[in-house]
Chains A and B, each alone.
Chain A
Amino acid sequence: KAGVTQTPRYLIKTRGQQVTLSCSPISGHRSVSWYQQTPGQGLQFLFEYFSETQRNKGNFPGRFSGRQFSNSRSEMNVSTLELGDSALYLCASSTGTGIRTEAFFGQGTRLTVV
């Protein structure tokens, strides 16, 4: 079974631009979560989607948004990029919304804002 696939793997953008990252979950997984990883802040939760609905959102500004499609694939968008948005963005999928289920992570998208 294929794992979580994130595209692109690497991205360089200029401050002020916007960016869209994509995540394809493991087949059969309907829950997708996004995390931001930086050296200073560590791993921080962005949002979670299930059945095309945002279930939960972390403490990030409105420039960060996401969506989920009917095939469970998810995208996240960051508008008006800032230098501090440079990070590894990780997507995770799980089978459902149970609190006991583990999340499986993709390899991440490395975003560099210059």
Chain B
Amino acid sequence: AQSVAQPEDQVNVAEGNPLTVKCTYSVSGNPYLFWYVQYPNRGLQFLLKYITGDNLVKGSYGFEAEFNKSQTSFHLKKPSALVSDSALYFCAVRREGSARQLTFGSGTQLTVLP
């Protein structure tokens, strides 16, 4: 079985400040980790993924994520938040050798305050 936890339902940050959205996972075997963003009344947009290699992954719109195997975490980060980053963020996992469906976390609502 595999699972993803996003411990914070809501994250507020001031524009221009760094942001972090937390994600921890539980899988047996190698994880494949993804971040998606959802704007109101829209589908999910792919931001970035970790497959293997460098623990720091860079993605779209200036976002990056750090894979930490010992802490089973994959936190999403951005050095300087924009008001337009305000959205719902989802972390997702697949397990090597498993079926292909994504297992999603419950989502974190990010609000960037002007």
**Pairwise interchain contact A90-B44, C-beta atoms closer than 8 A:** yes
A48: chain B residues at CB < 8 Å are 99-101
A interface footprint on B81-107 (CB within 8 Å = 1, 0 otherwise): 000000000100010101111111111
**Pairwise interchain contact A102-B46, C-beta atoms closer than 8 A:** yes
Complex interface residues of chain A between 11 and 46 (CB less than 8 A to chain B) = 31, 33, 35, 42-43, 45
**Pairwise interchain contact A45-B101, C-beta atoms closer than 8 A:** yes
| Nearest chain B residue, comparing its CB with the CB of A106 | B43
Q: In the complex, A97→B96 CA distance in Å?
A: 13
Check A108 for interface membership: any CB of B closer than 8 A. Answer: yes
B41: chain A residues at CB < 8 Å are 107, 110
How many chain A residues touch B (Cβ–Cβ < 8 Å)?
25
Q: Given A99-B32, A110-B41, 4 more contacts at CB 8 Å?
A: A31-B100, A56-B100, A99-B100, A103-B46
Dominant SS among interface residues on chain B: loop
Q: Which residues of A contact B (CB under 8 A)?
A: 4, 6, 31, 33, 35, 42-43, 45, 48, 55-56, 58, 90, 92, 97, 99-100, 102-108, 110
| Nearest chain A residue, comparing its CB with the CB of B97 | A99
Shortest beta-carbon distance from B39 to chain A in Å: 10
| Nearest chain A residue, comparing its CB with the CB of B46 | A102
What are 13 A-B interface contacts by the 8 Å CB criterion?
A4-B43, A6-B43, A33-B100, A42-B105, A43-B104, A45-B102, A48-B100, A56-B99, A99-B32, A100-B49, A102-B34, A103-B102, A106-B43
Interface-central residue, B32, B43, B45, B96, by most chain A CB under 10 Å: B43
Q: In the complex, A92→B98 CA distance in Å?
A: 18
